[in-house]
Amino acid sequence: MPLNETLPNRLHPTKIKTNEYPLTAYINQLTNIKVELLQSPSLEELYRYIPQWVTATWSEPTNLFSTEARHKALEDLFSGKVLPSALETIGLVFLVSNIDLIDVTHLLRHRSMSFSAICSADRDLRHDSCLIKPSIGNHKEFVHRFIGIVEKAKALYADMVDSDEISLLDARTI
């Protein structure tokens, strides 16, 4: 793509680490996956609509459920005793950390999720950690070759960015 010289210069939203030597922490991915629940509906919110949803196919529409009936409707939903479509209405927000691109693609296959990922286009990646699958990290020969390739790739990345001739966006492909 040709460079558009008419665009104004803009500041990067993150610090560019020009002339800093790349630092890499090697992390066992399997033991460092982190999942945090950031947002979920309250029990009262679920009690408000789940009973109507799970009984809609076999009963007259009503909102007159006892507390026990509301609890039973939720219990039936989560134990698989009623149709699971109501599960798709429950909004949960998770923060998943320390997964690699391969595992991200596994998550992307789920149709009932939306995703937001950390961007690598405007962020200097030279000090980012490297996730290692345990089978590679525990292998006597391959772990050293793996680390060597990562360090050479990160050094090339830093050289490209520091040259001021290759954008962060393009350099990240290494």
| Residue 114: per-residue pLDDT | 67
Average pLDDT over residues 52-80: 86
Residue 101: count other Cβ atoms within 10 Å of its Cβ: 8
Which residue matches tokens 């979920």? 40
In angstroms, rounded to a whole number, what is the distance separating the alpha carbons of residues 130 and 147? 9
| Residue 123: per-residue pLDDT | 82
| Residue 49: per-residue pLDDT | 92
Instruction: Report residue 26: phi and psi, to 5°.
Output: -100, 120
- Report yes or no: 158 and 20 within 8 Å, Cβ to Cβ: yes
For residue 96, give every residue at least 6 positions away whose Cβ sits within 8 Å of its Cβ, in sequence order, or none: 33, 34, 35, 107
Three-state DSSP class for residue 35: strand
Choose among 98, 92, 96, 95: nearest CA to 112: 92
| Residue 53: per-residue pLDDT | 87
In angstroms, rounded to a whole number, what is the distance separating the alpha carbons of residues 13 and 127? 17
pLDDT in tens, 96-122: 989 888 888 888 887 666 666 777 777
Is the whole-model pTM more than 0.85?
A: no
Which residue matches tokens 């909102």? 63
pLDDT in tens, 7-30: 787 777 778 888 999 999 999 988
Averaged confidence pLDDT in the chain: 88
Written as six digits, the tokens of 25 are 């922490």
